[in-house]
Structure 1
């Protein structure tokens, strides 16, 4: 351990990790590892540097409690791979994301989108925040699941989140349950079923409680339901995505022609059958890479397991969908 650092806990998913440092370079490195590549610098008014952080990763969610002993500025660029919410516990933090700005306080949180430069222009000395990172593919996957169609553009949240509204207070209670695990890890970090329920509650509460670009679409009564044939094929893909399905096989199982199946997917799903199947497989690959703790696990092994025979095309599709290389997902899942 280098001088100036005091750390405790392991970095495994579900296990809190904490440290305190006066070393600016070390703080930058640790923040970039847990959250995003970023720069953090004391402002001209700051005297010295002092940083404390305690974090916990539960699958696609990372919760942290962060505080700086001196006033700082933080530049994260485009987050790309995640949505993020900062909930101040004390003090104030002037923040911006793209063309939106807010001064976050214990009454007003800040929501950051993956697209748009994220900068914390002034984190007041002594201010403490809960910093919630939500994997982009997980949040957008929840929207896709509810709308039953692909998203033509990323979800774009309003940055200012009013913590005094009843709906938002309910969402904050769920975040506080997760934050409590930072100090006393319990069932929500040890039981995957409970953890999954808490993740859905937090992400679902954000989607319903905070204005965003798909909020009206989520509130609309469902369009005409998918025909039984399309539903059956979708269910088959989700149940057995690793199967070497062809459009002809799927059409035969659904009892329709290839042309009818493709038209049904175009109208009710929004993408061709093979594109939908590829997305199902990519989601399975990502889940396995996140959980990739077995010593022998490898990207190629997981890709082949879920039906990808060409690693180059697989890697390209993975980057396009998730904004990172599959090897990066595996590496972060093992931390």
Structure 2
């Protein structure tokens, strides 16, 4: 996955024409909207390329008709009430609720009442990096079978995930400037979406996958990981380099190392960060800068992981 520079967009207007132009340009060229007199829309959006997180605040009622939103759009009401109709069903959401606005490329109508809503827009290609579908044994279209979370606990997981991404990644200019950090964040959101909302993603390995989960596969995968640890690679990339399916490479790592391919990648990146800390000039480098360079967005998590592996905090290594 390649990440474009993170861009922040701020929009605030009472002009119906300007609001329609902004929303249709941002979300759907064929968007239909209707607002009442006195309506005001405030929209703050951080766009990373593979995903965007936006906060929308409105003082009136907005009716929206969308024909195709393209990516996967996940809503989280903060203070607003939202009425949504699509696929023959109608639902109402209140503060704290999490929901899919619609299935990708499926029309819907939404009525947003006064208040604040958070939207996460996820590029569909990211979903293919963390899951495969039946019956094909390669990344393909994943269909979401329900537009609401499987249960309240999973809804809270989505809220926690987006809060972490917003607070630790997007609000940290040093971290958000690193492609490895953005790639990791995108896949974290994709994995959470596939966990929270019922879908057709296939997770069990086949007999062919089990046969391919060999030491030879593991060696090819490890070689690729160690040669490309400085790039934004996914488990799908690792499987492709090893010449097997995603499930086969996952099973190979579990069977022979007891970890996932991405956990092994994090282990290699931690070792590279350690290498940089040992050789860095403390007057020119910081722990946070080195951690971000290797894809670790959270300073506290990096410090804890580093201390567990090397017995000292990273700052001590840098200043040794």
Query: What's the TM-score bracket when you normalise by the shorter of the two chains?
Result: 0.5 to 0.7
> How high is the TM-score relative to the length of structure 2?
0.59
Match status 1:98 vs 2:83: no
Which residue pairs with 2:194 in the alignment?
207
**1:299-325 Cα distance to aligned partner (Å, 9 max, x none):** xxxxxxxxxxxxxxxxxxxxxxxxxxx
The aligned length equals: 225
- Mapped contact 1:102–1:159 kept (Cα < 8 A): no
1:307-322 correspondence to structure 2 within 5 Å: none
CA distance in 1, matches of 2:131, 2:85: 24
1:159 maps to what in 2? 147
TM-score, normalized by length of structure 1? 0.56
In structure 2, relative to structure 1, the CA distance for the partners of 1:65 and 1:229 (3 Å cut) is same
* Aligned-residue RMSD, C-alpha: 3.8
Aligned-partner Cα distance in 1 for 2:94–2:130: 28
SS of alignment partner, residue 130 of structure 2: helix
SS in 1 for 2:47: strand
Q: 1:108 aligns with which of 78, 97, 107?
A: 97
Structure 2 matches for 1:179-258, cutoff 5 A? Answer: 179-180=166-167, 184-214=171-201, 217-218=202-203, 220=204, 222-223=206-207, 224-225=209-210, 227=212
1:123 counterpart = 2:112: yes
Whether contact under 8 Å (1:63, 1:178) holds in the other structure is no
Secondary structure of 2:132's aligned partner:
helix
CA distance in 2, matches of 1:62, 1:146: 28
d(CA) in 1 for partners of 2:126 and 2:91? 25
Contact 2:77/2:93, CA 8 A, preserved across alignment = yes
Q: Secondary structure at the match of 1:26?
A: helix
Task: In structure 1, list runs of 5 or more residues that go unmatched.
Answer: 1-11, 240-253, 255-260, 269-335
2:91 and 2:66 mapped to 1: Cα distance?
Answer: 16
Structure-2 change in CA distance of 1:106 and 1:230 (3 Å):
farther
Does residue 19 (structure 1) correspond to residue 11 (structure 2)? The answer is yes
Instruction: Kindly state the Cα deviation for residue 31 of structure 1 after the two structures are TM-superposed.
Output: 1.7
SS in 2 for 1:199: helix
